[in-house]
Amino acid sequence: MNRDSLRASLPALVAHTIPKNARRIHCSYFDDMPQYNAFGMQIDPQPAEGRVVAHTDEAFIVKTDRTKFVAVDKQLATLSPAMDEKVRITPYARRNFVGERLDATKQEELTTADGQPYTVTRITIGGSPPRIPLASMPSCPYLADLVEQLEIMRTPDGWRTIAIMLVDAKAKDIEIIDPDEDSLFKTPPEISFAVDTGKFSGRIAVVYDRGYDLYSVELRIDGTPSLALRK
């Protein structure tokens, strides 16, 4: 979906739905591009509801408020609704390993020094990168570095981290191999996940090769590697 061309044609597309005294319209775009707030921080859009008021070859336009609209990329939508049909759009949102949105509010019950309870509501604008839930911190520094890199390194789309990509792949049953210094070559550090996607179902393992100082990514079915990549 070409945002620039759609933005230029939007006033004409939605003119019949805008009040005569409206001076400005606002449109959000649900496509495959990252979105940012006024502070330049990456955000995940919230679901939106409204009626379909226009169609183009690439998108359909939904009116969500008096002068607010959402443009939805048809290639990403699960259906192409008819004109004037009421719809609810749920865009992609990054999540953590328990399924919560990264920008979800969190409440914490605290107590003052004199014993009075109070509630603190926390929200992180743009969300916090998800941490891989391990039963304990690795003792092997190379494994600890590997886990940290999975949590902070970006995927090629520039939107997600590798950890978020694993969440999207339904990663679960996390296992680690945490060797001591003397066993690094015989038993390489490793973290693996059970995943289930449209392209692969099995275990994916990231293994550190100390000798070559590189990572191997293995796709395993029933414990047997079906594909291995090194970097």
Local structure of 35: helix, strand or coil: strand
In a shared domain, residues 161 and 106: no
174 located within any domain = yes
Same domain, 156 and 200: yes
Across the chain, what does the average pLDDT equal? 91
- For 138-151, the DSSP string reads -SSHHHHHHHHHHH
| 24 and 82 belong to one structural domain | yes
pLDDT for the residue 156: 87
Q: Is 43 domain-assigned?
A: yes
One-letter amino acid for residue 85 of the chain: E
SS (H, E, C) 86-105: EEEECCCCCECCCCCECCCC
Q: Is residue 134 part of a domain?
A: no
pLDDT of residue 231: 61
Q: Is residue 133 part of a domain?
A: no
Residues of the chain with pLDDT below 50 are none
Q: Do 76 and 111 sit in the same domain of this protein?
A: no
In terms of domains, do 221 and 148 share one?
Answer: yes
Same domain? 26 vs 50: yes
CATH of the domain at 49: 2.40.50.140
* Dihedrals phi, psi of 142, to nearest 5 degrees: -70, -35
**183-187 — which CB contacts under 8 Å span 24+ positions?**
184/140, 184/142, 184/210, 185/210, 185/211
Residue 136 lies in a domain: no
Residue 58 lies in a domain: yes
Domain count, the chain: 3
Are 99 and 162 in the same domain? no
Q: What's residue 141's pLDDT? A: 95
Distances (CA, A) of 165 to 77, 157, 160, 187, 216: 20, 10, 6, 27, 17
Both 109 and 162 in one domain: the answer is no
76 is in which domain, residue-wise?
3-89
- Is there a single domain that holds both residue 71 and residue 112? no
Token pair listed for 180 = 């001591």
Q: Please report whether residue 28 resides in a domain.
A: yes
